[in-house]
Chain A
Amino acid sequence: MDGMQRTPVMDALRGRELRIGPELRAIDGMKNWRLGHDDGVMWLALDCQDATVNTISEAELTELDGLLDRIEKERPKGVVILSAKTGGFAAGADIGQFRGMTEAGEVREKMARANRVTDRLAALPVPTLALIHGYCLGGGLEIALACDKRLAVGEVSLGFPEVRLGLIPGLGGVHRLTQLIDPVEAMTMMLTGKSAHTGKAKRLGLVDDAVPHRHARAAALALLEGEGGHERGLKARAMSSAPARMIAARQMRGRAEERAPKALYPAPHALIDLWEEHGDDPEALADAALHTFADLLTGEPAQNLIRVFFLREGLRARGEGDHGIGHVHVVGAGTMGGAIAAWAAREGFRVTLADLDTEALARAIGRATDLFDRKLYDSAARRDARDRLVADFRGNGVAHADLVIEAIAETAGAKTKLYAAIEPKMKAEAILATNTSAIPLADLRKGLKRPGQLLGLHFFNPVSAMELVEVVSDDKTDTSATHRAAAFVRAISRLPAPVRSAPGFLVNRILMPYLLEAVVMIDEGARPETIDAAAEAFGMAMGPAEVADRVGLDICEEVAGQLRKDLDSPLPDLPEWLQGKVRDGDLGAKSGNGIYKWDDDEPRKEEAGEVTDDMTDRLILPMVNMAAACLREGVVADADILDGAMVFAAGFAPVRGGPIHYARGRGMGEVKRRLAELGDRYGARFAPDPGLDALA
């Protein structure tokens, strides 16, 4: 961890190291901006009241409007706009203000008012500069783009994540970015939502210069006086012509359709239309963007994606508080254990990884190196991560650990035997977490001296991609241990979902009917490609046949068997052919053969067939049904945790806002009616769960 390499000396000097520009004072009558003067240049610092990060809403813009009056009157030599927050310039628009807006006309009016302020900023008769540090996203970047120049200070990250919320930039970002830099690069940024870090931002011309804090003032003044700056290249100008736009737009549409089909995600497609049509007329583009923004925002996809944004925030909030964890000890260097250890090391924790199989342990280090190479961006960071992750051949790390994560074979006997061996060596306050996906905590707790310290941290595969971690507890688990574990999950940039120790916990239990119903359909003669296409058209990140293969047919069989034994909720029977595949070792992606044939971790899929009427509901509604059962049984505290967990762990269609939200939108009466109908047609497993009534 960075903290390990810091002494009080640097801590004491840090404030001075990061100081830029003149002293900033509060402004009479304003809550969100501070002001300073330096040699005739006015410095305006955004400093959102009662917040640790800046977000842009009407209040900030109204005050900025007042400041623009003052600038026009005072006529300073130049204006520097910066942020008073340590984390960054601004995180984007305040998304809360957009929640539940249904009137497109109202949105247009609100956004037109906001745009008048950024347009005024852009038209100021004095030179303006945005001094950017840290994050500068969405609405924050749009304010920066309305300045004449931009200066990156320290490490920066600039981007337009709007598309992830089903939106497009609404404060003039569309026309300003496509005018400022190569329009294809600009469109790519807005279409993917990916941020440009310091080096790329400079290369693209998003910023005119990039300097460390210590040279920020000198560089800002030089840029204001007209020295240096980015010139738009020949290619960028050529790409703005109508024929070039047409060709580029066609390519963009193809790629967008692949990643985000228009039927589910209209925003990227609308953005491409806008640029193709008005790419050479900024005024027309600005005006059309306003209309598009309003239409998108009031549509269902954007509102659901905004909901998912808040679901994420809600889950993250479950991890507030201190974890008190510096050293993590992971036992078991298999796929999951190795990946958990590597991820925790990447995120700054000191990690020891133990396994009796020394070769397997070494191989896990090899996989960790690959992860660091992919997910860390400079050689020093990679080296530090490698140094933090220790191959612990003797298992000595357990004595130093604040958190021990067990990820060994899924048998209660092996686990309890391990616990008996390691618990005496553990620190008194250390947490013991199991990554089991099926075994109830009660079965594992026997014999522990400190039974309250045992809980579950259930990660999903692949750990580096799946954001959710189930934090599993029961009434014997100490609440403080659960809180610390959740805080740890948040500290490694994952989302904690507190769930009760019940068969299959939450996610696997809800997902299982989805996978099994697909198996039944294949048994009935449907092609897996068609089934997957039906699910994906609904918005699922991955069709059930492919998920089953990726999870492993053996695991599916085992979990299904376990669930059928432990649950009242009915599950379909496994067809003989599936059990045969498992017997023959055709387990899915890992063996190269399963429901699909696999090449290089990709299934070989034929063209999908016609999706029949019942197919989608047969896949989706059993998940809704099982979700209702989980809520009824109290596996999870509320529907938002459940919906968030399903989106972030299982790729449940984000654009539907989660299974419960989807069912509510469709109407619980209609869901029950439809389940009953499917039950008549396909079997009792569709019987509506009594929990559905409570959700109406």
Chain B
Amino acid sequence: MTRPVYLVDGARTPFLKARGKPGPFTPVDLAVQAGRPLLLRQPFAASSFDQVILGCVNVIADEMNPARVAALRLGLGADMPAYSVQINCGSGMLSIDLAFRTIENGRAEMILAGGTEALSHAPLVLRQEAAEWFGEFAGAKGAWERTKALADLRPDFFKPVIGLERGLTDPITELNMGQTAEVLAQIFDISRREADQYALASHARLAKAQEDGTLEGEVLPVAARDGTLFDHDDGVRPDGTMEKLAGLKPAFEPPYGKVTAGNSSQITDGACWTILASEKAVEEHGLTPRARFVDSEWSALDPRIMGLGPVLCSTAVLRRQSLSREDVGLWEINEAFAAQVLACLAAWEEGAFCKDILGLDAPFGRIDHDRLNVDGGAIALGHPVGTSGNRIVLHLANAMKARGASKGIATECIGGGQGGAMLLEAV
């Protein structure tokens, strides 16, 4: 049994750039901040959901299974099943996909699906040897054993490993995510200038969207507990120039690399929720669908070139639906790195790549920049990894409505060598 599934509403917190110390919100705090105003504008009771799914990569120790903690703190009822999902940068989209399929199969009528991430809270991790030493010291019995254990203490044990840095490094290839973008820049011959130009446009587009009210209703203000107001994505740099970008040093592979802090996504905190509903739920609660979920796909490839993930999964979805590039009015390709997005576009233009890898008779073709990330992307907004997938689906639906697009794809590359894509249709 398959049934239509709709995206009926969604909202997110402003994305807050990490500024060198833990931000004002934990992952669940963010999910609560995004969820409360979203629920307030619904005509139904908060307990009306059948389940809650939340993507989150860096779960903190105080909030294991953040989906359930958020559900309880949002007052959805103690009898609300809730689970968390993790597929790195795809987590917030995986939660939507699971909600979509669950409703489609008739096992639920309405699901709250979100993503949350507080990268500024990523823990300091003890070095492996330090952790081993601590275990021994804690287990030592008697003064003598403890003294002996103390003698093994080395100063470098106190040098913490930044958890975030490890989290953004592929464990198989030991390449940092930025390095995988350098690999793609090499393979598809993306220049530093092209990457910087792309980044500059991302900021300009977000700045314009903030200015003209495009994000109204999608981004909701939040008040931190100390009374500070956050009402917009604060990583945006409307006054950026090519000169400023050109002046930045390569962040991952100096001095010759092309990937800089300026043409990469930012380290950011934020949460986003979407509400998915069946036809029945739409009627029962008098909801207004914004878009219909048509299909989704997940693909995998070599971790070294994880940034190409969107090409595989998006093409697979379109082929299955017998659609071509031209049928897709709007694209959201998560901007992990400018070079990575540009590499995807380049791959779709290469005849050999399209034939051999994607099984297309002709090149897929160039995606028009006017159809791609039209209101800016993670380079300007930031990339709270567990949240971004959720955000791009929500924003795609909103942008399709605003621009009258009939079909749209939201897709992202995923650290570890994967990609996820969702196809939406206007209603």
Question: Which of B73, B225, B231 lies at the interface centre, i.e. has the most chain A CB atoms within 10 A of its CB?
Answer: B225
Chain A residues with Cβ under 8 A from B229's Cβ?
358-359, 361-362
Stretch at the interface among B33-41, B148-156, B281-289, B326-334: B33-41
Docked-complex contact B225 and A365, CB < 8 angstroms: yes
Docked-complex contact B40 and A362, CB < 8 angstroms: no
Docked-complex contact A365 and B41, CB < 8 angstroms: no
Stretch at the interface among B74-82, B159-167, B397-405: B74-82
Asked if B347 lies at the interface with its beta carbon under 8 angstroms from chain A, I say no
Which residues, 239 to 292 on A, are CB-close (under 8 Å) to B? Answer: none
| Docked CA distance A692–B394 (Å) | 70
Stretch at the interface among B215-223, B306-314, B377-385: B215-223
| Docked CA distance A350–B79 (Å) | 19
Chain B residues with Cβ under 8 A from A369's Cβ?
225-227
Stretch at the interface among A109-117, A384-392, A516-524, A682-690: A384-392
Quick one: CB contact mask for B289-329 with A, threshold 8 Å, 1 for yes? Answer: 00000000000000000000000000000000000000000
Given A4-B75, A387-B73, A365-B37 contact (CB < 8 Å): no
Which residues, 373 to 388 on A, are CB-close (under 8 Å) to B? Answer: 383-384, 386-388
Chain A residues with Cβ under 8 A from B41's Cβ?
394, 396
Given A5-B78, A387-B32, A400-B40, A393-B221 contact (CB < 8 Å): yes
Which residues, 208 to 248 on B, are CB-close (under 8 Å) to A? Answer: 220-229, 231
Q: In the complex, how many residues of chain A place their beta carbon closer than 8 angstroms to a beta carbon of chain B?
A: 31
Docked-complex contact B78 and A6, CB < 8 angstroms: yes
Docked-complex contact A367 and B78, CB < 8 angstroms: no
Asked if A363 lies at the interface with its beta carbon under 8 angstroms from chain B, I say yes
Residue of B nearest to A390 (CB): B36
Question: Which of A383, A393, A397 lies at the interface centre, i.e. has the most chain B CB atoms within 10 A of its CB?
Answer: A393
Asked if B372 lies at the interface with its beta carbon under 8 angstroms from chain A, I say no
Chain A residues with Cβ under 8 A from B251's Cβ?
none
Given A7-B77, A358-B221, A390-B227 contact (CB < 8 Å): no
Chain B residues with Cβ under 8 A from A399's Cβ?
43
Chain A residues with Cβ under 8 A from B168's Cβ?
none
Docked-complex contact A390 and B225, CB < 8 angstroms: no
| Docked CA distance A630–B72 (Å) | 49
Which residues, 562 to 583 on A, are CB-close (under 8 Å) to B? Answer: none
Quick one: CB contact mask for B1-39 with A, threshold 8 Å, 1 for yes? Answer: 000000000000000000000000000000010001100
Residue of A nearest to B38 (CB): A396
Asked if A366 lies at the interface with its beta carbon under 8 angstroms from chain B, I say yes
Asked if A352 lies at the interface with its beta carbon under 8 angstroms from chain B, I say yes
Chain A residues with Cβ under 8 A from B78's Cβ?
4-7, 10
Contact of B225 among A366, A392, A393, A397 (CB under 8 A): A366
Docked-complex contact A5 and B221, CB < 8 angstroms: no
Q: How far is the CB of B186 from chain A (nearest CB, A)?
A: 47
Chain A residues with Cβ under 8 A from B79's Cβ?
7
Quick one: CB contact mask for A173-195 with B, threshold 8 Å, 1 for yes? Answer: 00000000000000000000000
Docked-complex contact B77 and A393, CB < 8 angstroms: no
| Docked CA distance A392–B220 (Å) | 10
Chain A residues with Cβ under 8 A from B221's Cβ?
358, 362, 391, 393
Chain B residues with Cβ under 8 A from A359's Cβ?
229
Contact of B220 among A367, A383, A387, A393 (CB under 8 A): A393
| Docked CA distance A394–B216 (Å) | 11
Which residues, 399 to 445 on A, are CB-close (under 8 Å) to B? Answer: 399-400
Q: How far is the CB of A327 from chain B (nearest CB, A)?
A: 10
Contact of A390 among B40, B43, B231 (CB under 8 A): B40
Chain B residues with Cβ under 8 A from A388's Cβ?
75
Docked-complex contact A362 and B75, CB < 8 angstroms: no
Docked-complex contact A361 and B72, CB < 8 angstroms: no
Which 4 A-B residue pairs are closest in the complex by CB-CB distance?
A: A366-B227, A362-B229, A362-B223, A365-B223
Question: Chain A residues in contact with chain B, CB under 8 A?
Answer: 4-7, 10, 350, 352, 358-359, 361-367, 369, 383-384, 386-388, 390-394, 396-397, 399-400
A sample of 10 more A-B contacts (CB under 8 A), given A359-B229, A365-B225, A369-B227, is A4-B78, A7-B78, A358-B221, A358-B229, A361-B223, A362-B221, A362-B227, A362-B229, A393-B221, A394-B41
Question: Chain B residues in contact with chain A, CB under 8 A?
Answer: 32, 36-37, 40-41, 43, 72-75, 77-79, 220-229, 231
Task: Return 8 A-B CB contacts under 8 Å, by A number.
Answer: A4-B75, A7-B78, A7-B79, A361-B229, A362-B228, A369-B225, A394-B41, A400-B40
